[in-house]
Amino acid sequence: MKVPQFQPSLGEREYAAIKDCFDQNWITEGPKAKEFMGKLLTLTGAKYGVFAPNGTLALYLGLKAIDIGPGDEVIVPDFTFYATASSVAMTGATPIFADVNKENFQIDVSKCKELITPRTKAIMPVDIYGMSANMDEVVSFAKEHGLKIVEDAAQALGVKYKGVHAGTRGEIGCFSFFADKTITTGEGGMIVTNDSKLYDKLLYLRNQGRIDRGSFIHPQIGYNFRMTDIQLAIGIVQLERLPEIVSKKKAIYDRYIGHLRNIDALRFIKVEEGTDPYIPFRVAIIDRSGRAQKLMEHMKKNEIETRTFFYPMHLQPAFKHMNWDDSKFEGSNYGYNNGICLPSFVDLKEEQVDYVCDVIKKFYS
């Protein structure tokens, strides 16, 4: 049996939604964008939102909206997808990496204080693997040091922390609709905020420095960060399917736990307290016996595609020149060396989960 790491879950309904754009003869941002945004604001409870071409550019635009630029420093967890850090670099500012905890690899706020300098302007908590970062700690730390918050909630659409939707506690929250995210538009992203002034800035930044599309007068510097209604039509259907997507992802996660919980060498990453719902972005496990690499090789031989955890930012060739002290990144190094992402996409079949678990059990027996 072959088990890929990931496959998007698309069907007739998404296909019909695309056709509808053709029938209406409207393919740029228009009626579908309006409908999708309305539904996303209802889901997240955010006051305002704009789309971006992808999650990476959503982060960049969010940082620009709070005036991050050359000379500024932004605290970024060392354990995240590269885009969290590269979006900071794209503004001309410097990402400063903070270690994460070993339980669930969320930013360790207790280690952030020593990173503060007069140039520190913002902090970017990342909601890793479909659970919230400890936002209570992040928010009080940010308040104490006068920092703005840009929350990278790319993996956390639908996720709530103590009843509040991911991405809505700070100034800016960013989401991704890439193919492997909870819901997808192929490529796509969104920025939310509760601040009307930031919303205004986002509108200018994403729409060629103006509010009205038909005008050739551009009061501000701005760019084109729009999506297409073809993409957004897919998003509407995907969002309608969110309850189904969440329940299927949970069922897969529970099935893995049922099979693997008695293997002493393995543990599942701990769900951050207060996260409800937790929507497993990946089923992420830790091998405690130092054999993660061997296990992944064994699984590959059995045609199961796994992924390592994220490669720490301080080790990235792109950021290495900044001479990070490797001993300060125990958490992210631990995650990279011992973490494994199991196949866990929506349409994964029960037989496939059972097969993956059999292969894992054989490895440890």
- The helix/strand/coil state of 159 is coil
Q: Where are the beta strands (DSSP E) in the chain?
A: 48-52, 73-77, 94-98, 120-123, 148-152, 160-161, 164-165, 172-176, 189-193, 266-268, 283-287, 307-308, 339-342
Total residues contacting ligand PLP (rule CB under 6 A)? 14
| Residue of 130, 189, 331, 343 interacting with ligand PLP (CB under 6 A) | 189
Provide the minimum distance between the beta carbon of 157 and ligand PLP in the complex, in angstroms, as a whole number: 11
Least Å distance between CB 141 and ligand PLP?
A: 20
94 interacts with ligand PLP by CB under 6 A: no
| 86 vs 333, beta carbon nearer ligand PLP | 86
Binding span for ligand PLP by CB under 6 A among 13-21, 77-85, 134-142, 324-332: 77-85
Supply 282's token pair: 């990946």
Task: Supply the minimum distance, in Å, between the C-beta of residue 152 and ligand PLP.
Answer: 5
154 lies in the binding site for ligand PLP (CB under 6 A): yes
Q: How are beta strands 266-268 and 148-152 bridged, if at all?
A: unpaired
- Residue 88: CB minimum distance to ligand PLP, A: 12
User: Is 178 one of the binding residues for ligand PLP (CB under 6 A)?
Assistant: yes
Q: CB of 241: closest distance to ligand PLP in angstroms?
A: 19
Between residues 81 and 256, which has the closer beta carbon with respect to ligand PLP? 81
* Integer Cα distance of 115 and 111 in angstroms: 8
- Which residues make Cβ contacts (< 8 Å) with residue 258, sequence separation at least 6? none
Residue 152 near ligand PLP by CB under 6 A: yes
Structure tokens that stand for 100 in this block = 């994460």
Q: Does residue 232 belong to the site contacting ligand PLP (CB under 6 A)?
A: no
The SS3 of residue 95 is: strand
Q: Establish if 176 lies at the interface with ligand PLP (CB under 6 A).
A: yes
As measured in angstroms, the least distance from the Cβ of 115 to ligand PLP is 20
Q: Segment 36-65, which members bind ligand PLP (CB under 6 A)?
A: 54-56
DSSP code per residue over 6-61: ------HHHHHHHHHHHHHT--BSSHHHHHHHHHHHHHH--SEEEEESSHHHHHHH
Q: CA geometry: angle at 345 spanning 344 and 351, to 5°?
A: 65
State which residue, 54 or 306, has the beta carbon closest to ligand PLP. Answer: 54
Instruction: Tell me the per-residue interface mask from 325 to 344 with ligand PLP, x by CB under 6 A, - otherwise.
Output: --------------------
Verify binding: residue 86, ligand PLP, rule CB under 6 A. no
Q: Which is nearer to ligand PLP, 189 or 331 (CB)?
A: 189
Q: What is the Rg, in whole angstroms, of the alpha carbon atoms belonging to the chain?
A: 21
* Contact between 17 and ligand PLP per CB under 6 A: no
Q: Are 81 and 196 in contact (CB under 8 A)?
A: no
Which is nearer to ligand PLP, 116 or 315 (by Cβ)? 315
Task: Output the CA torsion 204→206→209→213 (10° steps).
Answer: -90
Contact between 81 and ligand PLP per CB under 6 A: yes
End-to-end CA, the chain: 21
- Residue in 14, 37, 80, 236 binding ligand PLP, rule: CB under 6 A: 80
CA distance 301 to 130: 29
By CB under 6 A, is residue 155 in contact with ligand PLP? Answer: yes
Binding mask 100-129 toward ligand PLP (x if CB under 6 A, else -) reads: --------------------------x---
Query: Minimum distance from CB of 7 to ligand PLP (Å)?
Result: 16
* Cβ-based neighbours of 131, under 8 Å, separated by 6 or more: 104, 106, 156, 159, 271, 272, 275, 278
Q: Which residues bind ligand PLP (CB under 6 A)?
A: 54-56, 80-81, 83-84, 126, 152, 154-155, 176, 178, 189
